[in-house]
Chains A and B, each alone.
Chain A
Amino acid sequence: RKEVEQDPGPFNVPEGATVAFNCTYSNSASQSFFWYRQDCRKEPKLLMSVYSSGNEDGRFTAQLNRASQYISLLIRDSKLSDSATYLCVVNSPGGGADGLTFGKGTHLIIQP
């Protein structure tokens, strides 16, 4: 079983703060990495892909560390609307349809 591990939280963070969380993966041959966001009682939606060189989208920065086999998500100037569960998703080669493995998610609560 390919493993993707996340700290479930919850992370309680004051509005405006910076928060970061990691996701570790066990398959060193994994090739693609993603962060999804899931609001309470809603469906998951792609937040951003994670590229080898790291990538930024507004207040969100995703990074990949292949040597230590983890990806990270950094949220700057957090907003109340950032409260959600963040799912780490890893795509491993040769996995067929279950090549995508979802982490169990990290629950983030932004407090006013």
Chain B
Amino acid sequence: NAGVTQTPKFQVLKTGQSMTLQCAQDMNHNSMYWYRQDPGMGLRLIYYSASEGTTDKGEVPNGYNVSRLNKREFSLRLESAAPSQTSVYFCASSEASLAVAGELFFGEGSRLTVL
């Protein structure tokens, strides 16, 4: 029962470096999401994909790009990392879109530090 799998779990980057966070779900869900969680800020939506082939911006998309590679996989790319992107990143999936979804299934998180 893998659910939602994220890699890597930990990463340290230098300012200006790029990296991609990978996410895969095995529940045949249509919708996938990337959130970031910062102390005192709660979970904030970065990007989402309502279905294979579509992606849309969430609340805090600046500095990120995403790719919905297929129904299972949704990656998040930082093209030029900044210290402000130090955070815990969660990938999530749901059967329905967020507009009607109740239950989101989250990955275990990826802890990113940008020096």
Contacts and interface: CB of A to CB of B under 8 A. Distances in A.
Interface of A: 8, 32, 34, 41-46, 49, 87, 91, 93-100, 102-105
B98 A87 contact: no
A100 B104 contact: yes
Contacts of B98: 91, 95-100
A99 B56 CA distance: 13
B106 A43 contact: yes
Interface residues of B, number: 26
B99 A95 contact: yes
Given A34-B102, A43-B106, A97 B42 contact: no
A48 B112 CA distance: 30
6 contacts: A34-B103, A44-B106, A95-B98, A97-B50, A97-B97, A103-B42
Given A42-B109, A44-B106, A100-B45, 11 more contacts: A43-B107, A43-B109, A45-B106, A49-B102, A87-B43, A91-B102, A94-B99, A97-B31, A97-B45, A97-B48, A102-B43
Contacts of A105: 42
Interface of B: 31, 33, 40-45, 48, 50, 56, 58-59, 90, 97-104, 106-109
Nearest to A96: B99
Given A44-B106, A46-B102, A102 B42 contact: yes
